[in-house]
Amino acid sequence: MTTEPLNRPGARWCAAAAAVLAISASTAACTSPDTDELQVWVSFAPLEYITERVAGPEVHVDNLTAPGADPHSQELSPARVAELGAADLVVYVSGLQPSTDEAIDQTEPAHVVDTLDAAIADVPGAAEPPDPSRDPHFWLDPIRLGLATQQVADALAEIDPDGAAEYQQRAGILIADLEQLDGDFDTALAPCAGATLVTSHEAFGYLAARYDLRQEGISGIDPEVEPSPARLRDVAAIVEETGVRTIYFETAANPAVAEALAADLGVETDVLDPMERPSDPDYLTVMRTNLAALERGLVCG
């Protein structure tokens, strides 16, 4: 086994992984005793994806949101709060997770990237985005996720100047991928301009603003809150008036309300993944699946 003191989260993970694999930690290609690897915490899946791609294999990136947990209601243990305070960098979006906001205020980590800057940035080519205090899901606009990618690269370059060129190069490749994804959405959804997008969880305001859709959420911003009967009647009226053919729900939330409403109205249901508890860790893959669902279900010209 390695002689490295197990006082870093990455080291603990490494020892645990090595134990599971029944091999030595050094064979498991984890933290080398000689290098002082950067420890980065991210607050949920899409930020994990961009940070891992920019940081590369030399940096430990860990996610504050446990796999399958809802980031909106994620709580942090005192031990996790302390780890956050000791991190080299924390990447999050303020306003999504009260527990993370509090932990950052309390522990003041060395470097923090608040991707709210990407959410509120002036970006040409899209309609007025939602108020992020109400709908913080900016990562569903690939162009805004590209801005967050640049924020992460700039922070890493400042923390680790020797790696700056690599961080910036990897960020450039990811931003090009995101721009290509955006171009594919633009092309595919151009005939759907102005179409109504009925969703169970009102998480797609940024996507709607980018691609000229009108979002109507059944349960509002919190996927766990049951819609009122009045809201259900309103959504039913919108579906009938606009000829909506599909009500979208997300895999991680209970689809019962969306399915009951769709059955009442004689329309289909389909899945959109807001990537909070993603079906696949690869943002690009999930977004292409989302695009296919939109092309199938929206009413387009």
Q: Which residues of this chain interact with Zn ion, rule CB under 5 A?
A: 203
**Shortest distance (Å) from residue 223 CB to Zn ion:** 6
Record the tokens describing residue 244, joined without a space.
């909506």
DSSP three-state, residue 8: coil
**Shortest distance (Å) from residue 77 CB to Zn ion:** 22
CB 18 within 8 A of CB 25: yes
**Shortest distance (Å) from residue 281 CB to Zn ion:** 17
61 HSE (CA, 13 A, CB side): 22
Taking the least distance from each CB to Zn ion, the nearer of 10 and 205 is: 205
* CA–CA separation, 216 and 175 (whole Å): 29
- 249 burial type by CB count under 10 A (0-12 exposed, 13-18 middle, 19+ buried): buried
Secondary-structure breakdown of the chain: helix, strand, coil percentages, each rounded to the nearest 5: 50, 10, 40
Taking the least distance from each CB to Zn ion, the nearer of 203 and 207 is: 203
Taking the least distance from each CB to Zn ion, the nearer of 38 and 50 is: 50
Taking the least distance from each CB to Zn ion, the nearer of 270 and 276 is: 276
CB 39 within 8 A of CB 8: yes
**Shortest distance (Å) from residue 193 CB to Zn ion:** 25
Q: Outline where 97-163 has alpha helix (H).
A: 98-107, 116-120, 142-159
CB 248 within 8 A of CB 272: yes
* CA–CA separation, 76 and 65 (whole Å): 9
Taking the least distance from each CB to Zn ion, the nearer of 113 and 275 is: 275
Q: Outline where 163-228 has alpha helix (H).
A: 164-189, 205-211
* CA–CA separation, 253 and 247 (whole Å): 14
DSSP 8-state secondary structure symbol assigned to residue 211: H
Give the residue nearest to Zn ion (CB).
203
**Shortest distance (Å) from residue 129 CB to Zn ion:** 15
**Shortest distance (Å) from residue 249 CB to Zn ion:** 13
Taking the least distance from each CB to Zn ion, the nearer of 58 and 226 is: 226
**Shortest distance (Å) from residue 274 CB to Zn ion:** 6
* CA–CA separation, 88 and 111 (whole Å): 6
